[in-house]
Amino acid sequence: MTFIIRFFLTAAAFLAAALPAAAQEAAMSLDEKVNAAFAGATGWFVNFIFMSIPGTNFPWIVMWLVIGASVFTLYFVFVQFRFFGHAIALVKGDYSDPNDAGEVSHFQALATALSGTVGLGNIAGVAVAVGIGGPGATFWMILAGLLGMASKFTECTLGVKYRNEYPDGTVSGGPMYYIQKGFNELGLPGGKILAVLFSIFCILGAFGGGNMFQANQAHAAITGITGEYPGLITGVIFAAVVFAVIVGGVKSIARVTEKIVPFMGILYVGAALIVLLVNFNLIGWAFGQIFAGAFTGLGVAGGMVGALIQGFKRAAFSNEAGVGSAAIAHSAVKTKEPITEGFVSLLEPLIDTVVICTMTALVITISGQLIIDPATGNYVLNEAGSAIATVGDTSGVGLTAAAFGSAISWFPYVLALAVVLFAFSTMISWSYYGLKAWTYLFGEGKTTELVFKVIFCLFIVIGAAASLGPVIDFSDAAIFAMAVVNIFCLYFLMSVVRKELNSYAARLKSGEIKRFHH
Amino acid sequence: MKLVIGLDGQSSGEKALEFAKSLAASMETCELVVVYVIEWSPFSFQTAEENAQRHKRREEEISIAMERVVNPAVASLTDAGLSARAIVRHGDVADTIDDIAHSEGAGQIIVARSSAGGFSKRIFGSSTANLVMNARVPVTVVS
């Protein structure tokens, strides 16, 4: 707890010092200052999370996520494939009791969780993965997405099972609740400590990947069209709008965004399909690059392992399987069977990673933005040797925009709008996740909630002003730190989920679980 | 015979109610079911915060509908010596009224013609037409 308080005090002092200086100093140098201070303040944390396994260059955290997802896949005997059809039926409402109409439906819980995950990870994150790890990273990303479905299933089932239902009819759920209550129920010690630890990381994750990364990439997308201007300006505007929604309660903005975002998602996939159809003769070649690159690296930095690490990292960052955030979003659903929400949630990594991320990766690969040495067929590295050289020296969201722009000249404008909206909706979602962790630590109440919301908005400004490197590192580190605690606890709690699964499967077979619509 | 009366909370609903009353009075035994549907779709998009408060809001919506529309209607029917009860449900107006009528085994659905203006026109304008076209139970539209 002292750690977190110290962290916020440092951040607040840092902002208090940095903001008035804005008036006196040239904006670029301020951006640089923010950047340096930020990198300095978070470096140790990032280094710890991404420490390599001794003797290799493989970060232990990536191994941790993949092992977790594989264990859940095996423990629940490939639940993601066995119950895939049932998950679709649940989302369609086939098993929804008409008397529960008006409550949160499976579809709504899924859509809400998806609007928190579908976003920049799918557009900018994939570009980072493919830019550094080459097209081969896509293969590992898809594999991680498929395995991650089992992690989601486990955490979301627990999220609903152990949520808090308050007398006024509102609900709060998420890993902090299932860790504490689940450990108590099983008679295991340390539940409360682990729940507190998770909450701290969740708050940091909300500030990092759920906030600064979004603000940063939204700024990058806007400057890609308007030309350079200080990130501080984007940050302040974003912070003001988010403030209006989460503090001012201007629901109309959130409501409009929630309605536009799904269409933006469909538009994005549609545009990707158009690019792929236009270049349909290259699709086979692109998949060839993906498979060849997955096992040889095709000359990218770090070779095959580099591709694998990037693929796994960006998949986890994009679909958040094992991170625990989705369990917070899914816990509001109305169901008598917690396991049904687990089934529904396993569709999330599929839509997010296996479908949308793969689209982005294919478009980037096909677009020819990644420079290939015609003599060897391998990719050419940039001057620093850290990533593949690209046509316009772009990276992140800029690379995705260039890739789409090479086929549909006006699409970068639509993409910039999509990025801004995705960033905004992800921020709104994460402000809720962070808030739930915050109120778990400090109690529910108007003042404590306001403190969190104000700090959240300040971080938007920092995120937009800092450059991509330190922000992406810190965002990844914070989100993965959540997964460290969450997956550790899921190992202890997965027996609870298996009991639910076995009981449900038996009742589904016997016809006790009724189908209401056909 | 069982009659289902679909109300929209507007004055035109009164006409449907009056019609049902006179129809029921002419029958030997008649049970009346007053239905009010709160327009809602399970496929809409909501924020996480709205989801967390959804159960509470739903209860509020139902109690408001009960208080303002359905209970007075049931009271006026029982005052007239008829047997009546109420159902308030969320969903698509036309589908839900049809579902209830079908599952209740009702002999007839009675609704008002869409009244002029704003809300009720939006809800009942197309809903009445949908109901007439798709209902599995005979529908009487009172104008």
Contact B48 A108 (CB under 8 A): no
Counted domains in chain A: 1
Q: Does A189 fall in a domain?
A: yes
Please, which residues bridge with residue B4 across strands?
A: B33, B109
Q: Which domains does chain B show, CATH number per domain?
A: 2-142 (3.40.50.620)
| Sheet of strand B31-39: strand arrangement | B83-91, B31-39, B2-7, B108-112, B139-142
Q: Which pLDDT score is estimated for A317?
A: 79
Query: A255 near A112, Cβ under 8 Å?
Result: no
Q: Which pLDDT score is estimated for A28?
A: 54
Q: Does A434 fall in a domain?
A: yes
Q: Summarize pLDDT for B11-61 with one digit per residue, the tens.
A: 667 888 889 988 988 888 889 999 999 988 888 888 888 888 888 999 999
Contact B47 A93 (CB under 8 A): no
How far is the alpha carbon of A318 from chain B, nearest alpha carbon, in Å?
18
Contact A170 B53 (CB under 8 A): yes
Spatial neighbors of A504 by CB under 8 A, at least 6 apart, are A337, A339, A340, A513
The C-alpha atoms of residue A206 and residue A437 are separated, in whole angstroms, by 10
CB contacts, 8 Å: A107 with chain B: 42-43
Nearest CA in chain B to A170: B53
How far is the alpha carbon of A254 from chain B, nearest alpha carbon, in Å?
7
Query: A416 near A219, Cβ under 8 Å?
Result: no
The C-alpha atoms of residue A22 and residue B74 are separated, in whole angstroms, by 67
CB contacts, 8 Å: B53 with chain A: 169-170
The C-alpha atoms of residue A437 and residue B88 are separated, in whole angstroms, by 36
Q: Summarize pLDDT for B61-112 with one digit per residue, the tens.
A: 999 999 988 999 999 999 988 899 999 999 988 889 999 999 999 999 998 8
Please, which residues bridge with residue B7 across strands?
A: B36
Q: Three-state SS for B135?
A: coil
Spatial neighbors of A3 by CB under 8 A, at least 6 apart, are A200
The C-alpha atoms of residue A330 and residue A333 are separated, in whole angstroms, by 6
Residues A218, A224, A225: CA angle, nearest 5 degrees:
105
The C-alpha atoms of residue A277 and residue A182 are separated, in whole angstroms, by 49
Q: Which pLDDT score is estimated for A464?
A: 87
Q: Does A8 fall in a domain?
A: no
Q: Does A292 fall in a domain?
A: yes
Count interface pairs A-B at CB distance under 8 A.
88
Query: In terms of Cα–Cα distance, which of A424, A430, A429 is closest to A112?
Result: A429
DSSP structure class, residue A350: I
Q: Which pLDDT score is estimated for A1?
A: 45
Does B129 lie at the interface with A, CB-CB under 8 angstroms? no
Q: Does A254 fall in a domain?
A: yes
Domain around A385 = 29-510
Contact A101 B48 (CB under 8 A): no
Contact B91 A111 (CB under 8 A): no
Does B53 lie at the interface with A, CB-CB under 8 angstroms? yes
Low-confidence residues of chain A: pLDDT under 70: 1-31, 299, 301, 468, 471-472, 518
Residue B90 — φ and ψ, nearest 5°? -90, 150
**Chain A (304-363) residues lying within 8 Å, Cβ to Cβ, of chain B:** 328-329, 332-334
Q: Summarize pLDDT for A10-46 with one digit per residue, the tens.
A: 554 444 444 444 444 445 566 677 777 777 878 888 8
Q: Does A5 fall in a domain?
A: no
**Chain A (1-60) residues lying within 8 Å, Cβ to Cβ, of chain B:** none
Residue B107 — φ and ψ, nearest 5°? -90, -20
Kindly report the CATH number assigned to the domain that includes residue A79: 1.20.1740.10
Q: Does A14 fall in a domain?
A: no
Query: A398 near A364, Cβ under 8 Å?
Result: no
Six token digits for residue A476: 């990844």
Does B58 lie at the interface with A, CB-CB under 8 angstroms? yes
CB contacts, 8 Å: B96 with chain A: 101
Q: Summarize pLDDT for B129-140 with one digit per residue, the tens.
A: 778 888 899 999
Q: Does A2 fall in a domain?
A: no
Contact B47 A334 (CB under 8 A): no
CB contacts, 8 Å: B42 with chain A: 93, 96, 101, 105-108
